Homo-oligomer: A and B are copies of this chain.
Amino acid sequence: MADADEMSAPVAPQHVPFRGADDEVRPDFVALVEAAVRSGDAVVLRALTQDLHEADIADLLKQLDAEERPRLIELLGADFDFAALNELDEGERSQILEGLETRTVVEGVRDLESDDAVYLLEGLGEEEQEEILERMPPIERAALKRALDYPEGSAGRLMQTDVIAVPPFWTVGQTIDLMRDSQELPETFYALYVVDAGHRLIGSVPLDKILRARRQTKIEEIVTETRLVHATDDQENVARLFERYNLVSAPVVDETDRLVGTLTVDDIVDVIQEEAEEDLKALGGVKGEEISDSVWTITRSRFGWLFVNLVTAFIAASVLGLFEGQLEKMVALAVLAPIVASQGGNAATQTMTVAVRALATKELGSANAWRVVMREVLVGLLNGVGFAALTGIIAALWFGQWSLGVVIGLAMVVNLVAGALGGILIPITLERLKADPAVSSGVFVTTVTDVVGFFAFLGIATWWFRLG
């Protein structure tokens, strides 16, 4: 088959490497693929892509124009591995799926492992899901529907349902023979599971233990208790379990402790990365955004966060408005006020960043909250004093007025301590209220430092210079 292809494709340009030295997909390779897609040359296309991993195919798809992507898939037909689509951002994936024939999607989904099939389906609309599931054979359909019944973001959605389970009274020899003869094995696996007559999980045996044991050894002699996951567990908790105990795979059980699937670390790696990345994006005000999103999607999604920030900016400005008289009498105050607010905001952001991340990884909890709060206040006070001196001297020299330096210095200490308190207490409080601290801490924190900064600076100035 491969030979026939080669013969009918005398110019299969396989000498062009896929990635350049910078690890990016080479433009000349993309050009060859584009040419093949445009001319509908399935043979050249197959020759170009046959050795590529699904992740490489995904990177290749990203380089193509939107309308060429489904065309490439239809051209490759059964040679296209739908697992590649799972490596794309959600927006890219659904756009491609919309461009494909339903028949192609059904065939593609059928060839996937159960966890990949669920991942692909869960991003689709209810109607499209139904349309595809309807055309699947009943057994596969039932299995996929069962997985989709688990809540979004649960272990049940992530798990692979093909597992190897043996009874405890079997021998290692019997088990190895089963594996040699069985066709329906998962693609790769790292442990066997041991179950009782009711399919309830007893424990697991890592593959290397099977290999080291003698054939006549009973499975019950080498089975070990294993850390397990419930199908309804949240994926973030599962990720923490894998990470903490360095797991490579774990069995998944239902509410009656029956074995229903297995999770492997490669699915979990994605969850771990997503989780850290979500916090980063939430703190930056771009939650859920992907680099591949369209202008309009991005504009709308960023607008909300900016709108909330605009409200807080007006609140801060209204504090300045209260001191209009003073600003008029002494314009240096208007020039210096933003410095106090900005320095407080930056110090508070530092505290908040550490707090949000430590809350997410559970390094910050009730056991050490008090100690961390005290430490942050102390850090705020120390840095407050340091920057009070620095800012005070510069301001005093700039405007030739020593008392102005004293006033801004005092305001700086107040605002850095307020920033420290806000930076640690706001995320902790949001977490207690079951809100995501990464999403909304920033707005509250900078409101605190803007308002406190302006109030402290202009209030102290009013009193000191008797401007009231």
Contact = CB atoms under 8 A, between A and B. Distances in A.
In which size bucket is the chain A interface? Answer: 35 or more
A382 to B, nearest CB: 5
Interface string A240-266: 101111111000000000000000111
A212 B190 contact: no
A22 B352 contact: no
B283 A346 contact: no
Contacts of A190: 190, 207-208, 248
A387 to B, nearest CB: 6
A378 interface: yes
Contacts of A285: 346, 349-350, 353
Given A265-B266, A284-B352, A306-B387, A338 B317 contact: yes
Interface in A266-283: 266, 268-270, 272-273, 276-277, 279-281, 283
Contacts of A24: 362, 365-367
A227 to B, nearest CB: 9
B206 A188 contact: yes
A8 interface: no
Contact of A248 (B248, B337, B382): B248
A391 B310 contact: yes
A210 B211 CA distance: 9
A321 B303 contact: no
Contact of A265 (B180, B269, B339, B366): B269
Interface stretch (A121-129, A130-138, A328-336): A328-336
A299 B416 CA distance: 12
Q: Please classify the interface of chain A as helix (H, G, I), strand (E, B), loop, or mixed, using the class held by over half of its residues.
A: helix
Given A246-B266, A280-B353, A375-B298, A188 B208 contact: yes
B284 A276 contact: no
A332 B323 CA distance: 11
Interface in A90-132: none
Given A208-B188, A289-B354, A248 B265 contact: yes
A183 to B, nearest CB: 10
A424 to B, nearest CB: 11
B246 A354 contact: no
Given A279-B280, A328-B328, A22 B365 contact: yes
Contact of A324 (B307, B331, B357, B366): B331
A154 interface: no
Contacts of A9: none
A163 interface: no
A245 to B, nearest CB: 6
Given A185-B212, A277-B276, A379-B298, A343 B306 contact: yes
A328 B325 CA distance: 10
A76 to B, nearest CB: 20
18 contacts: A180-B214, A188-B206, A207-B211, A243-B269, A243-B270, A248-B264, A280-B283, A286-B350, A291-B354, A295-B379, A295-B382, A298-B379, A303-B386, A305-B346, A310-B390, A321-B335, A324-B332, A327-B334
9 nearest CB pairs, A to B: A284-B353, A276-B276, A334-B334, A246-B266, A280-B280, A207-B207, A291-B358, A55-B244, A313-B339
Interface of A: 22-25, 27, 53, 55, 62-63, 176, 179-180, 185, 188-190, 206-208, 210-214, 237, 240, 242-248, 264-266, 268-270, 272-273, 276-277, 279-281, 283-286, 289, 291-292, 295, 298-299, 302-303, 305-307, 309-310, 313-314, 316-317, 320-321, 324, 327-328, 331-332, 334-339, 341-343, 346-347, 349-350, 352-354, 357-358, 362-368, 372, 375, 378-379, 382-383, 386-387, 390-391, 394, 398, 450
